[in-house]
């Protein structure tokens, strides 16, 4: 048995788990938040309506995933409450599993001041766990 295989077996049997990049990020999204944010975000995007689908929050920052009738669904980056602030930037599209590093680099380059924990969570989410 190789050392790596032995390590994997030991970790699995010990009950230890490896932390996912989004473990420290709040994924809470209430119906009240969806309602409050939807109208504000629709105005910001200059569209008739949006549907808030997901949110990621950490240290006063939010990333909100929305669907609109006019575009591919974007992730909007906010420093503060989406109902009271304009988004910093947006990202939409598809990303492959091998693009996590590139997405992380894009995020830190275009979203100045974003906490690294949230940036890493976003990069991991869109490349490894989009369906979660």
Domain range annotation of the chain: 20-128
pTM, to two decimals = 0.84
Cα–Cα–Cα angle for 130, 75, 123, rounded to 5 degrees:
50
Res 18: pLDDT: 66
| pLDDT at 7 > cutoff 50 | no
Question: What's the token pair of residue 66?
Answer: 């929305």
The pLDDT tens digits for 97-120 are 999 999 999 999 999 999 999 999
């Amino acid at each position: 048995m190789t050392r790596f295989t032995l390590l994997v077996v030991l970790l699995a049997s010990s009950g230890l788990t490896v932390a996912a990049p989004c473990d420290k990020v709040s994924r809470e999204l209430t119906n009240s938040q969806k309602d409050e944010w939807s109208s504000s975000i629709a105005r910001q995007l200059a569209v008739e309506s949006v549907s808030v689908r997901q949110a990621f929050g950490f240290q006063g920052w939010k990333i909100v995933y929305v669907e609109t009738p006019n575009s591919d669904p974007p992730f909007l980056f906010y420093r503060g409450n989406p109902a009271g602030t304009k988004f910093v930037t947006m990202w939409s599209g598809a990303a492959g599993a091998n693009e996590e590093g590139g997405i992380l680099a894009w995020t830190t380059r275009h979203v100045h001041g974003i906490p690294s924990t949230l940036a890493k969570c976003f990069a991991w989410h869109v490349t490894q766990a989009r369906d979660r």
